[in-house]
Amino acid sequence: MGRLALTMVTKGVTRKAMIKSVCCFVALYTLALGSCAFASTVWTSSFVSLGTATIGNPGSCAGGCDSVSSGTGAPVQVADTFVFGGSTLTASSGGQATYGVLHAASAASFRVTGQALASEAETLDITQELMTISFAPWNGSPGLLHLSYTIDGTIQSTGGGGAWTQVDFLGMSGGNLVSYGYQTFTSSISGSFNLPGAIPFIYGTPFLLQIELITAAGSMSPDLDFSLATGAGYASANFSNTLVLSGLIPTDLNGVEAADPTFTSDSGTHYSVNGVVPEPSTGVLILMSAVILAIGRRRLPGIAVAPSLRSRLHESPSRF
């Protein structure tokens, strides 16, 4: 059931659809509680496509599409060139999801003439951790988990290209979605960030923490959805350098921090108030960065640099 649900999440490929599909994913797990238990898992899915419609709609693969997925924590990468009539897309996308550490990158260079087409490259990383936070004096009492993360990556676009990256956090306890928030970046970023709000949980009781990293590049509308377009462009979102969960601070409902809390996880990953320790980048992810650079060098001449999409940081409504 877990793998099926995760596969369904990858079907929603625009920013808005992705958010909706994540909620559907949580709902599927809620319905499944009677027949299977929660478990920690990781998932990465990458795709590239050139079509007469955006992915998920008839015609989305009219010019060609390719995808690859992994549920083992292994890195994945897909790269291809599609020709449809007089239009061309060269794209690459890949990533790797491990507990508390996520890598993702997407790049697309396209020239579309005549019929408007959707040029798309996107990667979705998901980690789900069944976690228990214990602190003897508070076990059985409600608490709040305050999360922080570091992220480092570049976003570039020229001509009609657009790109973005998004970080999602979800918390689930007792079969209920208890928190959901996201932050979206449309320009290069490097630094530490705090998740707005906090995730409710019960001390000494397991709960599910889900973290996602999404990168997208291609023909993009101003509201950050893939769109049908003509013309030429290049875009890349390179966050293969990594997102790292850097802080997990448990408190009581009044904001008082737990003294020396204990973190246990279904995956066996070691967590602390300082997050997790990232592993060195893999050769495949270094190669992913090289591929993005190569696609950038191959972008067609004469493409003027377009004004960058307005830099903004989206935060979900207060649902914590």
> Could you tell me if 240 and 152 are in contact, meaning their C-beta atoms sit under 8 angstroms apart?
no
Q: How far is CA 175 from the centre of its chain?
A: 23
User: For 120, phi and psi rounded to 5 degrees?
Assistant: -135, 140
> Could you tell me if 242 and 288 are in contact, meaning their C-beta atoms sit under 8 angstroms apart?
no
Radius of gyration of the chain (CA): 20
> What's the rounded Cα separation, in Å, for the pair 158 and 180?
33
> Could you tell me if 90 and 298 are in contact, meaning their C-beta atoms sit under 8 angstroms apart?
yes
Other residues' Cβ atoms within 10 Å of the Cβ of residue 123 = 35
Nearest to 47 by CA among 108, 103, 5, 100: 108
pTM over 0.75: yes
pLDDT along the chain (320 residues), means of 10: 28 38 38 48 95 90 95 93 96 94 95 96 96 97 96 95 95 81 93 90 95 96 92 95 93 96 95 83 56 57 34 31
- 8: which 2 tokens? 């369904």
Q: Helical H runs in the chain?
A: 2-9, 15-32, 283-297
- 236: which 2 tokens? 């890349």
Distances (CA, A) of 214 to 59, 186, 264: 23, 12, 27
